[in-house]
A and B are shown apart, each in its own frame.
Chain A
Amino acid sequence: MSTPADVISLPARAPRSTFWSSLRRAQFPLIPTLILGVITFVAIFANQLAPHNPEVGSLVARFRPPFWMAKGSTEYLLGTDQLGRDVLSRLIFGARISLVVGFTAVIFAGVIGTALGIISGYLGSWADQVIMRITDTWLALPALTFAIFLAAIVGPSMWNIVIILGLTYWTRYARVIRGEVLSLKERDFVKLAIVAGCSKWTIMRRHLLPNVINTAVVLGSLMLGVVIIAEASLSFLGVGVPPPEPAWGLMLSDGKQGLMVGYWWLTVFPGCCIMLMVLSANLIGDWLRVKLDPQLRQL
């Protein structure tokens, strides 16, 4: 039997709970958050941080290697590309493009998918049938091929890419959110809202939406990596962000020209940036999934 004294003395024996230890206990992905934070910071202050203009190069300084190599100079820390543009500056401005495209496309897809998921799940009957058949068809399309197809017909521009990626990747939200709504709408608070005379629109907006928003956020964080890779792939194929803008995928495509003669920095650096960003997004997404929504652990 525990005496009151034992109980009282417990907190004193427990290790002092600091901010850091509570983070560690929650298995908070600190490093990924820092990486994403740094990328965001760099993207916001790109104008101040970039040492050179990312779109204008000097042809006398083509294919300079990074500064630690034999012919490198500290003027171009990470070397220059085939037009003599500074790789570091292009990476810095490229972070801006990746972040803007990634986040807006994920949000755009999320808005479409969540809205359709709620409508489909709550209204049921023919609306559900129609929306789910469309979702199935969309899911059947190989997403990347479809995005390439759309990008090829509407022409390259950053905002076109955002719209295309949004139109391509909303299906997963719709499916998952519909499932959530199907179980939510049987709950008492929804039934009470119906009894109280709320309109369907009010119920969907005020009662269902706040309950599925967590799921949408988790899905969004997991989609971020997918969308960033898709953007890079489109840019790499020449149907994404148009040159001379410094998108990472575009830099990889340019880097192909120097690949066979061993200008590795044009391929390695942009790829590492994509990898770091996607890896961080995935780790944070995994953590959010476990934290916010145990039901989603299977995804």
Chain B
Amino acid sequence: MKRYILRRAGYCALSLFLLSLTIFFFVRVTGDPATLLVEPGASRADIAAIHHQFGLDRPLLVQYWLFMVNLFHGDFGQSFYYQVPVLQLYLSRLPNSLLLAAVAMGLSLLIGIPSGILASVHVGRFWDSFGKVFSLLGLSLPSFWVGLVLILVFSVYLGWLPSSGAGTPLHLIMPAFALGWYFAASHMRLTRSSMLEVLGSEYIKLARLKGLPQSLVIAKHAFKNALIPVLTLAGINLVIMVNVAVVVETVFAWPGIGRLLYEGIAFRDFPVVQGVVLMGGAMIVVVNLLVDILYAVIDPRIRLEK
């Protein structure tokens, strides 16, 4: 158990190291950050001064070392545009992103789990086909387009919901739906396949042989066990949602992390872009580690295999 967790944690650290290396490498190699800081047509002396100020004239390895040391001190650099530390900016936007992701997750589970159960109980019949079409649409419609169409219908024509911004629960509905839409499809698929697996097991047969009514078999015996993988996926997806909401947040001008990334790109604000991507990657790596550990605690087969 200890060895398993240690190895997983080692992989996790390695992933984080590669992540920082990749991001550092791409930012430094694909262009001179100094040219982004100065006005076009700045003199060589100005550029050299900026190089010196930000330590860009030092060897690459030294730069990377300093970059890492700063990271460990929680220093992600200073935003060019807002003139405040990136971490502060990030943390001020994080609650909004989490709120949006949580509501979107709730919606996607509310749609995905019941439809998945319906499909698994009626395999090959109407509800199953309906579910298939639904999940196909979920995977094929770009979330930002769903968002735009929602704005068109509910803000422009019906005037029921505000088209952008944040503040009231009404502001949350459309972005949460646009974001949750895609994930509802994937939750439905997993619920269906997980339910089918459980429904084929021996103890379900036993429950049926005992003469339990169908509703009780489904609700009490099958559903509870089928829920475990779905909730795991939902946990991972919640973190992914925070990080892929860029386009949806841009459409609805939702002041979250995705919007921050978009602003960072629009204003050529490099430290912000770098910080958001780093934090996103780190979050996912850590969540994967937690899931691995959790599974090892629950299931001895996992921790005992080589």
Contacts and interface: CB of A to CB of B under 8 A. Distances in A.
Given A239-B265, A260-B163, A137 B18 contact: yes
A255 B281 CA distance: 32
B14 A282 contact: no
Given A133-B15, A283-B136, A145 B151 contact: no
Which of A239, A259, A262, A279 has the largest count of B CB atoms less than 10 A from its CB? Answer: A259
A144 B182 CA distance: 14
Size bracket, chain B contacts: 35 or more
B211 to A, nearest CB: 34
Contact of A264 (B152, B261, B280): B152
Interface stretch (B37-45, B141-149, B222-230): B141-149
A49 interface: no
Given A236-B247, A268-B149, A140 B288 contact: yes
A140 B137 CA distance: 26
Contact of B156 (A137, A233, A260, A274): A260
Interface in B257-284: 261-262, 264-266, 270, 273-274, 276-277, 280-281, 284
A72 interface: no
A62 B240 CA distance: 40
A279 B141 CA distance: 8
Interface stretch (A10-18, A113-121, A150-158, A171-179): A150-158
Interface string B89-112: 000000000000000000000000
Contact of A237 (B262, B274, B277): B262
A137 B22 contact: yes
A271 B157 contact: no
A225 B140 contact: yes
Contacts of B5: none
A189 interface: no
B284 A259 contact: no
Contacts of A271: 141-142, 145, 148-149
B265 A148 contact: yes
Contact of B265 (A152, A267, A275): A152
A144 B149 CA distance: 22
Contact of A282 (B136, B144, B262): B136
A54 B250 CA distance: 26
Contact of B151 (A152, A232, A259): A259
Contact of B244 (A136, A145, A225, A278): A145
B18 A142 contact: no
B86 to A, nearest CB: 14
A152 B156 contact: no
A153 B148 contact: no
A101 interface: no
A254 to B, nearest CB: 12
A144 B246 contact: yes
A252 interface: yes
B246 A148 contact: yes
A266 B168 CA distance: 29
A69 to B, nearest CB: 15
Contacts of A252: 144-145, 148
B265 A237 contact: yes
B246 A259 contact: no
A238 B263 CA distance: 11
A23 interface: no
Interface in A95-147: 133-134, 136-137, 140-142, 144-146
A149 interface: yes
A264 B266 CA distance: 26
Contact of A278 (B11, B26, B27, B140): B140
A256 interface: yes
A136 to B, nearest CB: 6
A9 to B, nearest CB: 33
A229 B151 CA distance: 20
Contacts of A149: 23, 26, 273-274, 277
B243 interface: yes
Contacts of B30: 153-154
B148 A267 contact: yes
Contacts of B14: 133, 137
A261 to B, nearest CB: 8
Which of A141, A146, A239, A278 has the largest count of B CB atoms less than 10 A from its CB? Answer: A141
Interface string B178-198: 000000000000000000000
Contact of A255 (B22, B148, B244, B265): B148
B31 interface: yes
Contacts of A153: 26-27, 30-31, 270, 273
11 contacts: A133-B14, A133-B15, A140-B15, A140-B19, A142-B240, A148-B261, A229-B142, A239-B265, A255-B148, A271-B142, A275-B141
Closest 7 CB pairs of A and B: A271-B145, A142-B243, A137-B18, A279-B140, A278-B140, A152-B265, A137-B15
Interface of A: 133-134, 136-137, 140-142, 144-146, 148-150, 152-154, 225, 229, 232-233, 236-239, 252, 255-256, 259-262, 264, 267-268, 271, 274-275, 278-279, 282-283
Interface of B: 11, 14-15, 18-19, 22-23, 26-27, 30-31, 136-137, 139-142, 144-145, 148-149, 151-152, 155-157, 163, 240, 243-244, 246-247, 250-251, 261-262, 264-266, 270, 273-274, 276-277, 280-281, 284-285, 288
